[in-house]
Amino acid sequence: MSGELRRLFVAGVLLIPGGGALAQAFDPPARATADGSALYAQRFYPGPLYARQFYRAARHAPAPRRSSKPVPLDLTIVNGAGTNTAGEGDGKAPAPPQGGAVAHAAQPAGGKSEPKQKHGINTWTIFGFTEGSDTDVAGGKSLYNQTDGRLARANAGYWALETTFGVSYSPDDRTNLFVEGSGGDEVVPNALRGSLVDDGSSIHAGADVGIKYQMLDRQHSAVGLAFQAEPYYTRNALAGGAATHAVGSEFRLLADTEFMPQTLFGAVNFAYTPEISTGSSGDTSTLEASAAIAGRAFDGIFLGAETRYLDKYGGLFFAQPLGWALYVGPTLYVAIADAGYFGIAWSHQLVGRAAATPGASLELSNFERNQIRVKAGFYF
């Protein structure tokens, strides 16, 4: 054997074991489990919940003869909650589960109701005065409270406060039924209520029922769309006279969309509220158009902004214009441990016009300078 061939032979003998050792170092062999499947190294995928994912290859038949195309492995995923199977032979790892304080399972777990999760986030309450189109899951129930404060009219020292408690139930994943009871106080120190002639302050109590039906879902459409009807009855006990009664209903159209998945949402509402009253104000009707946007600032926390246009008329069908007002303000929504929520919104009147005071830059006869809403609820 010549000198060059001898050197090549010695080099091959030395390199073959070294190459095998290097291959094992950079690509360690799979560790066989008790059932014969192969368990690969753990891998981590950052996400809202930082879920840990494990990859393993299922038991398969002995490898066939070498062919022109390699045979892909049948991969499955094992996580802390159980085993989810990927498509056979696709060689792709499913994306990590979306999570966070406002992301829940698509169906209630352990008999506990949770918000609808077709998109991971329930938009019904993440805005302020504006509402999203989402409903609860089938069989879902919730208790909630909403308190509205109204401050500063043309009367010095005017304020009003109303709080509402309600319970909702969803017979299916597109419908919400709810019942509410409310009570409040209106304080008018100078015994006038703007352009109205009712004397003094008042205490009122009322009740209402409502239904919300979702016609379009963002899972199958770019826009979610819902309709809501809420008839009500209110009794006002006036400080300077007999009680008055009012019946009416709010009809609301709700639409929303997702500008950035799981992060940025927008909604628009259109509402019409006719009311029949035995008070001096008589029958009235109110139109409302609002638009809101809410973005995820932190896990379970949404910050947003909202604008609203309110227009009030005498008569049930806009017979006499009484005044209009334009509001803007911020909103805040906080999810509470996947079991509830808390939100607050403030609307400040930028401009308005009252029929009684056409020269004024604000409408302070029928509307207030500031409106505040605080809401909270729990799912069960």
3-state secondary structure the chain: CCHHHHHHHHHHHHHHHHHHHHHHHHCCCCEECCCCCEECCCEECCCCCCCEEEEEECCCCCCCCCCCCCCCCCEEEEECCEEEECCCCCCCCCCCCCCCCCCCCCCCECCECCECCCCCCCCCCCCCCCCCCCCECCCCEEEEEEEEEEECCCCCCCEEEEEEEEEEEEEECCEEEEEEEEEEEEECCCCCECCECCCCCEEEEEEEEEEEEEEECCCCCCEEEEEEEEEEEEEEEECCCCCEEEEEEEEEEEEEEEEECCCEEEEEEEEEEEEEECCCCCCEEEEEEEEEEEEEEECCEEEEEEEEEEEEEECCCCCEEEEEEEEEEEEEEEEECCCEEEEEEEEEEEEEEECCCCCCCCCCCCCCCEEEEEEEEEEC
Residues 331 and 213 in one domain: yes
Q: What is the mean pLDDT of residues 314-332?
A: 93
The per-residue pLDDT for 296 is 94
pLDDT given at position 236: 85
Please indicate, yes or no, if residue 119 is contained in any of the structural domains. Answer: no
- Please give the Cα distance from 12 to 16 (Å, whole number): 6
Q: What is the pLDDT of residue 9?
A: 54
Residue 53 or residue 353, greater confidence:
353
Same domain, 163 and 312: yes
Q: What's the number of domains the chain is made of? A: 2
At residue 32, the pLDDT reads: 47
Residue 132 has pLDDT above 70, yes or no: yes
The answer for residues whose C-beta is within 8 angstroms of residue 34's C-beta and 6 or more apart is: none
Both 286 and 203 in a single domain?
A: yes
At residue 338 the predicted structure's pLDDT band, cuts being 50, 70 and 90, is confident
Residue 99 lies in a domain: no
Overall average pLDDT of the 126-145 stretch: 93
Start-to-end CA span in the chain (Å):
86
* pLDDT band at residue 280 using 50, 70 and 90 as cut-offs: confident
- Asked whether the predicted pLDDT for residue 237 surpasses 50, the reply is yes
Q: At 238, is the pLDDT very low, low, confident or very high (cuts 50, 70, 90)?
A: confident
User: What integer pLDDT is reported at residue 339 of this predicted model?
Assistant: 86
Pairing between strand 175-187 and 301-314? unpaired
On the question of pLDDT at 2 being above 60, the answer is no
Better-predicted residue by pLDDT, 45 or 224: 224
pLDDT at position 183, please? 93
Q: 176, 169, 84, 191: which is closest to 135 by C-alpha?
A: 176
Amino acid at 134: D
Residues 43 and 157 in one domain: no
For the chain, give the percent of residues with pLDDT over 90.
45
Domain endpoint, select from 37, 59, 85: 85
Q: Which long-range contacts (CB under 8 A, 24 or more apart) does 168-173 make?
A: 168/136, 168/140, 168/141, 168/142, 168/144, 169/140, 169/141, 170/135, 170/136, 170/137, 170/138, 170/139, 170/140, 170/141, 171/138, 171/139, 172/138, 173/116, 173/135, 173/136, 173/137, 173/138
199 vs 83: which has the higher pLDDT: 199
Range of the domain at 357: 141-379
**64: in domain:** yes
pLDDT, mean of residues 179-190: 85
Residue 239 belongs to a domain: yes
Q: What is the mean pLDDT of the chain?
A: 76
Residue 38 has pLDDT above 60, yes or no: no
Domain match, 335 and 242 both: yes
Higher pLDDT, 172 or 81: 172
> Which pLDDT value is given to residue 251?
97
What percentage of the chain exceeds 70 in pLDDT?
Answer: 65
Full-model pTM: 0.67
Whole-angstrom CA distances from 310 to 2, 79, 186, 261, 263 are 101, 51, 20, 31, 29
Which pLDDT score, from 0 to 100, does residue 1 have? 52
Is the same domain home to 150 and 226?
A: yes
Asked if residue 70 has pLDDT above 90, the reply is no
What's the pLDDT at 190?
Answer: 58
* Alpha-carbon span 64 to 274, nearest angstrom: 76
Average pLDDT rounded to a whole number, residues 329-358: 92
Residue 216 pLDDT level (bands cut at 50, 70, 90): very high
212 occurs within a structural domain: yes
Q: Is 12 part of any domain? A: yes
Region 181-196: mean pLDDT is 69
Q: Is residue 275 part of a domain?
A: yes
pLDDT higher than threshold 90 for residue 148: yes
**Does residue 127 belong to any structural domain of this protein?**
no
Query: pLDDT higher for 302 or 195?
Result: 302
Total Cβ atoms within 10 A of residue 375: 19
